[in-house]
Structure 1
Amino acid sequence: MPRPSILNSIERKFILLIGDLGIVLLALNVFVNSAIDAEFISMRLKIGVFTFGIFVYLSLAYILEFYSLEKVSRRRNIVAQSIYVTGLFVFLVFIFSVLIFDASFWRIPLLSFLLLTPVQIGGWRLLFRNIFAVIPDSKNVLYIYDAHTFGSLREDIAIINGNEIKTFHKVKLTYSIEQDSSINKKFFLSAAGKIDTFIINTRNYNELPSDLEKLMLRSIVKGKEVISFTSFYENTYEAMPIRSHNDSFYELLQLRNRKIRYLQLIFSFVMNFLLSLFVGLIFVLSIPFVFIGNLLFNKGPMFYTQKRVGLYGEEFKIYKFRSMVIDAEKEGAKMASSGDSRITPFGKVLRLFRIDELPQIISVIKGDMQFIGPRPERKVFVKEISKLTPYYNVRHLIRPGITGWAQVKFKYGQNLEDSVKKLEYDFYYIKNKSITLDLRIVLKTVTTVLFSRGI
């Protein structure tokens, strides 16, 4: 008996989004046509409120991870998340209408918009969660490997099953191509009836048994997936599996896309220019406060400089507000950690709000850095990390950045192993660099700063 159709994560998110947008549009309609006094209603107001409302809702939903299926699957998160995301949305729409259109309101419809919208969103999401709780959400996987990947079999299966995020895949069968190439009929029947996805992690695809190839070809015709381990990892984790020694190596060779993308270049220039003005202004305004705080609670130089490795491996100076004790590295270079004893009390405040990072705008203006790119590292650590992975210097193909994909996707890096893990995200960014990805990083950086995540 065939398995029921399984909706993937994108399809589930789309259904959830459609339901949310339907409620949001109905709520905005009530707000415009019932809550606002009729003498203030105009076509300009309607267009303005609807446009602003949809933009604000989508922005908040992305920044606050409203469409994380892992959070939606947990009942205790649904109500709380619905209240603060939707509550913030209705409040901003109300303030926008008051400040821009100077509108006055009828109390009952206004309270209905402000209070019932979060309740309706929460109710719809609870319904969504309960409906999809009984529908299969994981695809059964046949994992195909060879002698080269046998040593990491458990780790690779854990990655497919989801040791960090929910992947919606579950390994049900494994098969080594070193086994007898004549696959028995029982295996065929078992695989054909239960498997939704074939994930291949072998060094040489030409060594796949012909019977297995035929099985996969028939499965493709039936709408099932056949993908490489690298493609699965990249699509699911939005990173490159640099520890894999198979097809991921050949993927890395394609990191340098030499197509000239003029729109991307123009966007990067405009974004760097605008953010330089904005961050530069904040930097200038912060100097008096940091100076006074440094004088009282963090005696010593206000700034410190360090040499970092940038584009094509060239060193440059990076500037920051000092957040550590003066002799922080008297015993040698050491990576900063979240509970580092070298950080002063005032330095903790600077780091909490990312104020210590503001002077890096100087490096952006000088052209040594840009706003989005791999974080620059010190030469001593570059040498150490390069011993762990031969691919590390590939990240120097592009100019380093103040923020990047690794910073918004991974935890606070505290050691060399964390740096290697972050490298997977840096490679993903280099390979998939685009306007859309840059915008995602900008929005995710807001979340990182708000909730003190990343580095």
Structure 2
Amino acid sequence: MNKLLTLSVVERKLFLFTGDMVIVIFYLYLLVNRTLKGTFDSDKHSVTIFIIGIILFSVIAYIIDIYNLERASKPITIFSLSLIVGVLYSFSVFFITIILINTTVSRPYLMVFLALLPFSLTAWRLICSNFFISQPFLKKTIFLYEKNFENDVIDNVSNIEGKNNSNGFNVKLSIATNQEGFTKNPERLKKIIDKIDTVIIRIKNYQEMPKEVEQFLTKSMYFGKEVFTYTSFYESTYEALPLNLLGNNFYEVLHLKNTRSHYIQKLFTKIVDFSLCFVVGIFFGLAVPFVCFFNFFFNKGPLFYIQKRIGKKGKEFKIYKFRSMVVDAEKLGAKMATNNDARITPFGGVLRKFRIDELPQIISVIRGDMSFIGPRPERKVFVDQLDKINPFYSVRHVIKPGITGWAQVKYKYGENLEDSLRKLEYDLYYIKNRSITLDLRILFKTVTTIIFSRGV
């Protein structure tokens, strides 16, 4: 057991994945040999079912990100995600198999497959929780920085370690790269290499890096240690861009492309927008009479709230929502909504809790002003303020705004300008790394957010 606790994060992920595969293969065996009845080419279909089943599980697990142990701060997070993956996977495999084989089903074994597989995956993580969650799996880290960044070191180290060390890094030592103690004590460096897993370096000009520091980094890589610049570390760990550290290198880091977007990504976006407009449109049509009825008694006033927002290329457009606040909520001037805003009516609180107030936004999607996935559009008055605080804020407007986005599923409900700038880090990460996989992750995270009524 003690030896298991010394496994690295990658090894623990592999161990967990191996256990998942054993469970998945076992239930696939039951599906092939017990659940399905009828005459079919057993050898041919068995291999096909196993291949589809394994690939499908891997894809779902990757999209929902259930192996992201470094950022899992609570056991309930892993358990709930495991349950969701199990349910999605079992139903997906079942329906794909039925369509593929076109055969009848044994109900007792069907219930075993649909019900027990999700709970088996969850139980496996419960068994592993002592090794992967409760027990530390922190990487021993050394943080190297320039002397003139000393005032930022405390904040940087706090960001690296994070809340409850949930991202898997523990800074054991912080050293200024231009300290004499660093450059004149090679034996100390040799001892450090043996005791660390990761090196994070924060230097303004890497061309002026002290030779001793360069040699230390090279030796660290020789011994298989991870070496990150703080910017690349921040991006890979938090899936956001550290605006306060980019400075003049911002556009170099962002890698913005003003050329044509990838055709596959564009096609996928069109398909998502069209499909979700159809699905969400049904819910919107059903919701209108009910919201209108309860509005009359508990939220008297206009049914819709229409507001101008800034969209692609900085152009204003109208956004539509079911009204959730009192009439004339901004008679004293524009103000960002907060989580427990006194202007929200009791019925409006219900609409917000279950995201029903967001449904009318499909009107903007149909009109082409918005997409389902993208940075959330903001009002001009706040955009102007944020532009003055951070000149990169308007970069969000290079793509269409969205009903949901990376910042919405990764960060809490934005209540002030500071929160908006924090969300900007996630929006810019999305613009830089936009892909079909990332869009799918956003969609799945949005669904779980709505299911568990979490604030975004």
TM-score range, shorter chain: 0.7 to 0.9
Aligned AA (1:421): R
Trace 1:90-109 onto structure 2 (pairs within 5 A).
103-105=104-106, 107=108, 109=109
Aligned AA (1:15): F
Q: Which digits, 9 at most, give the CA deviation of each residue in 1:167-189, with x for residues without a partner?
A: 22221222213323733123222
Q: Note if contact 2:5-2:137 (Cα within 8 Å) is conserved in structure 1.
A: no
Trace 1:202-217 onto structure 2 (pairs within 5 A).
202-217=203-218
Q: 1:198 to 1:80 in 2, by over 3 A?
A: closer
Q: 1:18 to 1:39 in 2, by over 3 A?
A: same
Q: 1:14 to 1:204 in 2, by over 3 A?
A: same
Inter-partner Cα distance in structure 1 for 2:12 and 2:71: 13
Which residue in 2 is equivalent to 1:314?
Answer: 315
Inter-partner Cα distance in structure 2 for 1:172 and 1:94: 49
Which residue in 2 is equivalent to 1:22?
Answer: 22
What SS class does the counterpart of residue 449 from structure 1 fall into? helix
Moved more, 401-410 or 360-369: 360-369
Which residue in 2 is equivalent to 1:146?
Answer: 146
Which residue in 1 is equivalent to 2:445?
Answer: 444
Q: Note if contact 1:373-1:399 (Cα within 8 Å) is conserved in structure 2.
A: yes
Inter-partner Cα distance in structure 1 for 2:254 and 2:123: 49
Q: CA deviation at 1:407?
A: 0.6
What SS class does the counterpart of residue 244 from structure 2 fall into? coil
Moved more, 297-306 or 45-54: 45-54
What SS class does the counterpart of residue 141 from structure 2 fall into? strand
Trace 1:143-182 onto structure 2 (pairs within 5 A).
143-163=143-163, 166-180=166-180, 182=183
Q: 1:139 to 1:92 in 2, by over 3 A?
A: closer
Which residue in 1 is equivalent to 2:344?
Answer: 343
Which residue in 2 is equivalent to 1:355?
Answer: 356
Trace 1:25-174 onto structure 2 (pairs within 5 A).
25-36=25-36, 38-39=37-38, 66-69=66-69, 86=86, 103-105=104-106, 107=108, 109=109, 113=113, 117-118=117-118, 120-130=120-130, 137-163=137-163, 166-174=166-174
What SS class does the counterpart of residue 212 from structure 1 fall into? helix
Q: CA deviation at 1:287?
A: 1.9
Q: Which digits, 9 at most, give the CA deviation of each residue in 1:79-130, with x for residues without a partner?
A: 77766764676578779989996845364x5565466545643453345444
Inter-partner Cα distance in structure 2 for 1:50 and 1:389: 52
Q: 1:441 to 1:327 in 2, by over 3 A?
A: same
Q: Note if contact 1:142-1:173 (Cα within 8 Å) is conserved in structure 2.
A: yes
Q: Note if contact 1:82-1:121 (Cα within 8 Å) is conserved in structure 2.
A: yes
Percent identity over the alignment is: 48
Inter-partner Cα distance in structure 2 for 1:253 and 1:102: 52
Alignment partner of 1:435 is 2:441? no
Aligned AA (2:358): E
Q: 1:445 to 1:51 in 2, by over 3 A?
A: farther
Q: 1:197 to 1:68 in 2, by over 3 A?
A: closer
Moved more, 405-414 or 163-172: 163-172
Q: 1:98 to 1:439 in 2, by over 3 A?
A: closer
Structure 2 length as normaliser, TM-score?
A: 0.85
Q: Note if contact 1:304-1:321 (Cα within 8 Å) is conserved in structure 2.
A: yes
Inter-partner Cα distance in structure 2 for 1:80 and 1:371: 25
Q: Note if contact 2:177-2:213 (Cα within 8 Å) is conserved in structure 1.
A: no
Q: Note if contact 1:257-1:431 (Cα within 8 Å) is conserved in structure 2.
A: no
Inter-partner Cα distance in structure 1 for 2:210 and 2:291: 66
Which residue in 2 is equivalent to 1:190?
Answer: 191
Q: 1:275 to 1:221 in 2, by over 3 A?
A: same
Inter-partner Cα distance in structure 2 for 1:170 and 1:150: 19
Structure 1 length as normaliser, TM-score?
A: 0.85
Q: 1:319 to 1:116 in 2, by over 3 A?
A: closer
Q: Note if contact 1:374-1:406 (Cα within 8 Å) is conserved in structure 2.
A: yes
Q: CA deviation at 1:289?
A: 1.9
Q: Note if contact 1:73-1:129 (Cα within 8 Å) is conserved in structure 2.
A: no
Q: Structure 1: any 5+ residue segments left out of the alignment?
A: none
Aligned AA (2:121): I
Aligned AA (2:229): S
Q: Which digits, 9 at most, give the CA deviation of each residue in 1:275-299, with x for residues without a partner?
A: 2232233323322222222223221
Q: 1:80 to 1:318 in 2, by over 3 A?
A: closer
Moved more, 139-148 or 329-338: 139-148
Q: Note if contact 1:291-1:302 (Cα within 8 Å) is conserved in structure 2.
A: yes
Q: 1:123 to 1:313 in 2, by over 3 A?
A: closer
Q: Which digits, 9 at most, give the CA deviation of each residue in 1:38-94, with x for residues without a partner?
A: 447776997997688668866775687644426978667777776676467657877
Which residue in 2 is equivalent to 1:327?
Answer: 328
Aligned AA (1:160): I
Report the count of equivalent residues: 451
Moved more, 360-369 or 130-139: 130-139
Which residue in 2 is equivalent to 1:395?
Answer: 396
Q: 1:433 to 1:115 in 2, by over 3 A?
A: closer
Q: CA deviation at 1:409?
A: 0.7
Moved more, 204-213 or 259-268: 259-268
